[in-house]
Chain A
Amino acid sequence: MEIKIKLNGRQVAASVEPDMLLIDFLRKQGCVSVKCGCETTNCGLCTVLMDEVPVLSCAVLAARADGHSIFTLEGLREEASEFVGFIADQGADQCGFCNPGFVMNTIALLRENPDPTDDEIRAYLAGNLCRCSGYDGQLRGIRTFLESRRGKA
């Protein structure tokens, strides 16, 4: 079947199988930041923004995304660059595999709630699993970013 998706701001038309998952479609389009880490709809690695809302692209059919806007990390590098350095500075990125999903959901968090508390950060990012760290480095990184932004304002 034919679908049209606005991918990272650009119209894309493609022919897909009815059971093609959005994650597979996106990877085929070259968006390889989107990864499958768990096969159980649990790890958050495949997070993309569908109409501005973070979803697991492993559990959305490409067919359902027809007519919608999808953003992956490839299209949001500038927004991500504002805070990823702060997380890296805390040594939070170790193997780095979870990073794109984590960054995508942090973007969603900060758009929805520009000045979150630690508990709000933890609650929002609870669906992003990292098997290297204990999440404290990421939390410190986001906190440092927020403090630095407040300092500039």
Chain B
Amino acid sequence: MLTIRNYVKAKSLEEAYELNQMKTNRILGGMMWLRMMHLNVGTAIDLCDLGLNTIEETDDEIILGAMVTLRQLELSACLNTYTHGAVADAVRDIVGVQFRNTATLGGSIFGRYGFSDVLTVFLALDTEVELFKAGRVPLAEFAAMKKDRDLLVRLIVKKKPLQAAYLSMRGSRTDFPILTCGVSRIDGVYRASIGARPGPAVVVEDETGLLAGEITEESAAAFGEYVAETIRTGTNLRGSAAYRKHLTKVLTARGVLEAAAQ
């Protein structure tokens, strides 16, 4: 059970950062995952009054506040026009509308959860995180960093010309994914992000140029094969390592064909 001794709606990022330096204190995010933990929290730090719940579009970036909800991601016209609906596809099967109305982007990304559809789809894009102290860091770098007590403030998506698709495999529609897969083509290079391996999502680029020529079912399958060979998969209750390798091949190839048709 989660117990909380003090609750603070932070008045500034500085205040939130300072409070968060104490090991017993916690940023709340949407509190969806946190509430299921057995944890004694000294001060729960709520970022809900800091105006971080907006999605802004500039000429070359889409800037997303850490408190943007998964439902906002799903309904955002600018984000889904840019990503050909990949972001909406990534979040629409996460539990239910009510859950997505409070689960936050920042909580999903900061947690670097293995099962995260959200981390997977943003890794397929050219994304940076803005940390309060460390500043802007590429998302792939952040995903591999050890969790520290910095504050995730925003996510920034670079609006480079993009083709993108998102697929996942689930036992039933709103369950945790068995495998997640984002595919994109940015600056002429294809990449796949694979999550729920069951570890957190990792990115594989088409470094050997398998997709440099024409995109056919064969070349898409060859890239799927390459991605499956490159990543490490594991076994848990939801699926075996071998099954996940197989899903990686199939979902990546499908994603490539979907993105190429855009």
Determine whether the beta carbon of B99 is less than 8 Å from that of A127: yes
With the chains together, A28 CA to B46 CA distance in Å? 24
* Interface band, chain A: 20 to 34
Interface pair B6/A18, CB less than 8 Å apart: yes
B92 located at the interface, meaning its Cβ lies under 8 Å from any Cβ of chain A in the complex:
yes
Docked complex Cα distance between A124 and B66 (Å): 24
Q: In the bound complex, what is the Cα–Cα distance between A59 and B36 (angstroms)?
A: 9
CB distance from A81 to the nearest CB of B (A): 22
Asked if B48 is at the interface of the complex by the 8 Å CB criterion, the answer is yes
Inter-chain CB contacts under 8 Å: number: 79
In chain A, positions 8-40 with a C-beta closer than 8 Å to chain B are: 18-19, 21, 39-40
Q: How large, as a class, is the contact surface on chain B? A: 20 to 34
Q: Is A103 close to B, CB under 8 A?
A: no
CB neighbours of B6 from chain A (8 A):
18
Question: Which residue from A39, A47, A64 sits with its C-beta under 8 Å from B98?
Answer: A47
Question: Considering only CB atoms, which chain B residue lies closest to A60 in the complex?
Answer: B102
Instruction: Determine the distance from Cα of A119 to Cα of B251 in the docked complex, in whole angstroms.
Output: 24
Given A55-B101, A64-B48, A105-B98, also A126-B174 (CB < 8 A): yes
A127 and B32 contact, CB distance less than 8 A? no
Q: Is A117 an interface residue (CB 8 A)?
A: no
Taking a contact as CB atoms under 8 Å apart, the answer to whether B173 and A126 are in contact is yes
Q: Which of B3, B30, B95 is within 8 Å of A19, CB to CB? A: B3
Using CB atoms and an 8 Å cutoff, list the residues of chain B in contact with chain A: 2-7, 9, 28, 30-32, 35-36, 41, 44, 46, 48, 92-93, 95-99, 101-102, 173-174
